[in-house]
């Protein structure tokens, strides 16, 4: 492990209460005192005709999803269609397209490469048939190409070694890209993205020194892709903890290496020492945006300040905390993250859309703090509901004088507003009252309000009330799917251009004003 790198905490699984406590203390460099949040009231003035800024939905254009081989499963495809139905997302990213389970690379008796694109075609055909384009993470190393049999600790044990022969690696990448262009056409494949590797700064790359050897992998891969067609888009470094982006741009400029975008990752429980290399306090709900802002500034001060930033993994936690990623906390967390940093990226990729996912092995229970929006058996989580509600936001943003609100406007003039009450897990919170004072709306205007909170879509609480069954019966699965629904919207008349709503702790409310 290189100096300054962190242990592979993203591989941790909570097997016991003791492990859960150990992981909790990894969530930040310093925990601030926990205190109750007092009741509060906020007033927001909204001018329906005010000037606005563009508000592209960068947070819902791409999702992550386990590894490539899972795409061929019916449950994966079911969940993909569910999430696409509420977000209209356009790209999906996953690990391991070159892994041996996909049969891509072998050698004949003379040691010459033999390529097999059968599973690759099935995987990409499935995505395209569902209106989704690949964000191709080029990983990991085929066994017969690896310099060393360095297995990463995931359940499916990908090989994370550099290649034994860069000539054979380059030939593989060239053949891969040519096959894609021949099968799908350059007009299609030029709309994909090719990202070189995954998190080479931590446990997914064993080249030493890590950065220099990764840059060699990147250079060879990028040049091989561009030799097939200069229209293919390639980037990296796909690092954990917002690392190496400034160095990546400097390297590309110095050595004249193709670089169409840069990418990195961050999670709510990444630590300041790993992201910023100091001991500043960053609250877990602020870490993703703090990391994005850091990288955004590095790009602006680089030799290529217009380089697009694609945040190719983010979530509130990497450590399988049930009270975070399975809970209603994800509503306000997601809204807050979107509000503060989505505008600094070209795309953000939530990790992941589905719990059809096996990094820690076969799922043993539907609610274990998995990354996905959809739990096992197609059960939507509160995060699914949050994405569904926030999808309704407009494409223009109006100014709002408070932190916990997004005021937007659609092309037809409809106002859509999100308000939330973010309380960290384990903190006792109070209701928040928000008063909206409108200008420029009709005297007969109404608000249509939808919510995610303890009374709307809290499927985790419903599962616990059942006794937390490890293997829910079909009847229980049906009941859980019903519990996951946020229910019908609430229509409220707006009197005297004024609307008052109450948002409970860990609550999210999204309102359309008509």
Q: Determine the pLDDT at residue 401.
A: 77
d(CA 239, CA 248): 10
Q: Report whether pLDDT(9) > 80.
A: no
Average pLDDT, the chain: 92
Query: Furthest-apart CA pair in the chain: how many Å?
Result: 83
Is a pLDDT exceeding 70 seen at residue 169?
yes
pLDDT of 417-437, one tens digit each?
A: 999 999 999 898 999 999 999
The backbone torsions φ and ψ at residue 235, rounded to the nearest 5 degrees and listed phi first, read -160, 180
Most confident range, picked from 8-17, 105-114, 222-231, 395-404: 222-231
The answer to whether 229 and 179 have CB atoms below 8 angstroms apart is no
Predicted confidence (pLDDT) at residue 190 exceeds the cutoff of 90: yes
| pLDDT band at residue 39 using 50, 70 and 90 as cut-offs | low
Per-residue pLDDT, averaged over 349-357, amounts to 96
452 compared with 443, residue with greater pLDDT: 452
- Segment 9-20 shows an average pLDDT of 36
Percent of the chain, pLDDT > 70? 92
pTM: 0.90
- Measured at the CA of 164, the angle between CA 162 and CA 166, to 5 degrees, comes to 85
Query: Phi, psi (5° rounding) for residue 389?
Result: -70, -45
| pLDDT value of residue 148 | 96
The model's confidence at residue 91, banded by pLDDT at 50, 70 and 90, is very high
Residue pair 101/160 in contact (Cβ under 8 Å)? The answer is no
Rg (CA), the chain: 23
The pLDDT, as a whole number, for residue 426 is: 87
- Asked if the model's pLDDT at residue 189 lies above 50, the reply is yes
Query: In 3-state terms, what secondary structure has residue 246?
Result: helix
Architecture (CATH level 2) of domain 57-392:
Alpha-Beta Barrel (3.20)
In this prediction, residues 140-155 reach a mean pLDDT of 96
3-class DSSP state for residue 456?
strand
Active-site residues: which are they?
199, 313
Between the CA of residue 301 and those of 249, 344, 357, what are the distances in Å? 11, 14, 38
376-412 burial by CB neighbour count: b if 16+ within 10 A, else e? bbbbbbbbbbbbbbbbbbbebbbebeeebbbbbbeee
pLDDT of residue 428: 87
**For residues 227-253, average pLDDT:** 98
Residue 458: Cβ-neighbour burial (10 angstroms; 0-12, 13-18, 19+): buried
CATH fit for domain 39-51+398-513, picks 3.40.50.1000, 3.90.230.10, 2.60.40.1500, 2.40.160.10: 2.60.40.1500
Q: What is residue 22's predicted lDDT score, i.e. its pLDDT?
A: 35
Burial of 216 (C-beta count, 10 Å sphere; 0-12/13-18/19+): middle
Instruction: Determine the Cα–Cα distance for residues 108 and 193; give it in Å rounded to an integer.
Output: 31
pLDDT of 126 reads: 98
Tens-place pLDDT, residues 258-293:
999 999 999 999 999 999 999 999 999 999 999 999
Q: Give the pLDDT score at 18.
A: 33
Domain boundaries, the chain: 39-51+398-513, 57-392
Instruction: Enumerate residues 6+ apart whose C-beta is below 8 A from 160.
Output: 140, 141, 150, 151, 152, 203, 204, 205, 206
- Give me the DSSP letters along 276-330: TSS-----GGGHHHHHHHHHHHHHHTSS-TT--EEEEEEES-SS--HHHHTSTTH
Rounded-to-integer distance, Cα 38 and Cα 34, Å: 13
Q: Is the pLDDT of residue 15 over 80?
A: no
pLDDT reading at 192 higher than 60:
yes
């Amino acid at each position: 492990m290189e100096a300054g790198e962190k242990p592979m905490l993203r591989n941790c699984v909570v097997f016991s209460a003791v492990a859960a406590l150990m992981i909790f203390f990894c969530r930040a460099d310093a925990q601030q005192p926990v205190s109750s949040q007092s009741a509060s009231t906020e007033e927001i003035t909204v001018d329906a005709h005010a000037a606005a800024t563009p508000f592209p939905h960068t947070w819902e254009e791409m999702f992550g999803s386990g590894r490539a081989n899972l795409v061929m499963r019916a449950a994966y495809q079911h969940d993909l269609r569910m999430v696409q139905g509420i977000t209209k997302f356009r790209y999906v990213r996953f690990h391991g397209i070159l892994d041996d389970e996909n049969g891509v690379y072998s050698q004949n008796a003379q040691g010459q490469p033999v390529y097999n694109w059968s599973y690759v075609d099935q995987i990409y055909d499935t995505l395209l048939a569902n209106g989704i384009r690949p964000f191709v993470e080029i990983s990991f190393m085929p066994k017969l190409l690896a310099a060393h049999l360095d297995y990463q600790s995931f359940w499916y044990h990908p090989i994370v070694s550099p290649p034994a022969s860069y000539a054979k690696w380059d030939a593989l990448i060239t053949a891969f890209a040519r096959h894609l262009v021949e099968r799908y056409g350059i007009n299609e494949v030029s709309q994909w993205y090719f990202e070189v590797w995954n998190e080479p700064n931590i446990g997914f790359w064993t080249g030493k020194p890590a950065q220099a050897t990764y840059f060699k992998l990147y250079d060879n891969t990028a040049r091989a892709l561009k030799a097939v067609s200069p229209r293919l888009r390639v980037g990296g470094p796909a690092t954990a903890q917002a690392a190496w982006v400034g160095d990546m741009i400097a390297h590309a400029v110095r050595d004249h290496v193709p670089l169409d975008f840069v990418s990195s990752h961050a999670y709510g429980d990444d630590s300041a020492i790993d992201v910023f290399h100091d001991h500043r306090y960053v609250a877990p709900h602020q870490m993703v945006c703090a990391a994005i802002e850091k990288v955004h500034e590095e790009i602006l001060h680089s030799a290529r300040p217009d380089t697009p930033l694609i945040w190719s993994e983010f979530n509130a936690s990497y450590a399988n905390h049930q009270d975070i990623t399975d809970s209603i906390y994800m509503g306000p967390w997601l809204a807050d993250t979107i509000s503060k940093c989505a505008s600094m990226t070209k795309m953000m990729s939530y990790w992941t859309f589905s719990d059809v996912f096996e990094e820690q092995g076969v799922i043993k229970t539907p609610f274990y703090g998995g990354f996905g929006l959809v739990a096992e058996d197609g059960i939507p989580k509160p995060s699914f509901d949050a994405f569904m509600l926030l999808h309704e936001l407009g494409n223009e943003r109006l100014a709002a004088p408070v932190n916990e609100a997004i005021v937007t406007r659609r092309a037809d003039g409809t106002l859509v507003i999100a308000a939330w009450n973010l309380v960290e897990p384990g903190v006792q919170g109070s209701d928040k009252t928000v008063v909206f004072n409108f200008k420029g709306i009709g005297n007969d205007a109404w608000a249509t309000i939808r919510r995610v909170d303890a009374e709307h879509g809290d499927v985790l609480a419903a599962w616990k009330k059942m006794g937390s069954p490890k293997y829910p019966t079909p009847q229980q699965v049906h009941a859980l799917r019903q519990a996951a629904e946020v229910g019908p919207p609430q229509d409220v008349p707006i009197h005297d251009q004024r609307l008052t709503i109450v948002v409970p702790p860990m609550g999210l409310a999204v309102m359309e004003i008509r």
